[in-house]
Amino acid sequence: MKSETAPAAAAEQPPPELLGDLISPISGGRVPRHVAIIMDGNGRWAAQRGLPRAAGHRAGTENIRRVIERFTDHGVQYLTLYAFSTENWSRPEREVRALIRLLRYFIKRELDNFRKNNVRLRMLGHMETLPEWLQRQVADAIEVTSSNTGLVLNICFSYGGRDDIVMAVRQAARDELGPDDITEEAISARLSTGGSPDPDLLIRTGGEFRISNFLLWQAAYAELYFTDAYWPDFGREDIDIALADYGRRKRKFGGLLPEDIEALRTR
Ligand code: FPP
């Protein structure tokens, strides 16, 4: 999109913080600082095996550990997983209960690993919609891992991207921001991801091509990667392939690459 009167903020090149890719100690290639994943395909994975949907979600939960390990090995610093959307409450009660139980199981089972591997757990979404016993367990796990300095693991539960924006705007109103104080930075800081960099890479497993109300604001410039693999099958090799694909992307953030600018100068 071209504009005659470019806003002052639109410099020739993207701001340095947006160019902050890391170098993988495994592949030596560029890797994203922040990866976000829509973990889709649990139900179909289970159906393929003649199992109930809950078995697919359980296998999907088991997969999270190896995914964390592989992204950590590559040096990724933030991993955001979409575990339960605001819309998922409309699923059959039995499935909703299974997913809530899995959150409990996941936190209980993984807490030691988080401690050992220096993972900091954060939860994004409406924790108040969870049973009180689970809210306490979640709060404890967040507290226990809060001083860890390795991977930041964001689990999105009862999360919606539009809702995230509405909540941020409401907070801005509570903070009594005037119309001119409502800037992109002011909204970003009030989102549930406030303080984290935006995702650089958004992966969706399960063969669908949708964002499904995930990180709508934050993913404005994320590279999108879709794979047919069902989430429980999405393993180390798939991660390596996704990251290699990311390493080949040219990220321009609406601007031009330094080499393109150089080419224009010397033309
Ligand atoms: C989409 O697959 C997946 C979900 C709605 C839930 C994702 C949840 C997990 C991986 C496990 C829970 C994680 C935690 C941390 C508790 P789908 O059921 O829509 O699959 P389908 O499209 O094949 O039916």
177 and 266 together in one domain: no
pLDDT of residue 8: 43
Ligand 1 centre to CA of 251 (Å) is 30
110 and 201 together in one domain: yes
C-beta 40 within 6 A of ligand 1: yes
Q: Which structural domain, as residue segments, surrounds residue 9? A: 1-19+251-267
243 and 258 together in one domain: no
Q: Is 40 part of the annotated catalytic residue set?
A: yes
Q: How is residue 210 written in tokens?
A: 């949708």
State how many domains the chain has: 2
Whole-prediction pTM:
0.91
263 and 200 together in one domain: no
60 and 190 together in one domain: yes
Residue nearest to atom 3 of ligand 1 (CA): 40
C-beta 159 within 6 A of ligand 1: no
217 and 144 together in one domain: yes
35 and 75 together in one domain: yes
User: For 191-238, what is each residue's pLDDT tens digit?
Assistant: 999 989 999 999 999 999 999 999 999 999 999 999 999 999 999 999
C-beta 32 within 6 A of ligand 1: no
Find tokens 């809060």 and name the residue.
146
User: For 14-33, what is each residue's pLDDT tens digit?
Assistant: 444 455 689 999 999 899 99
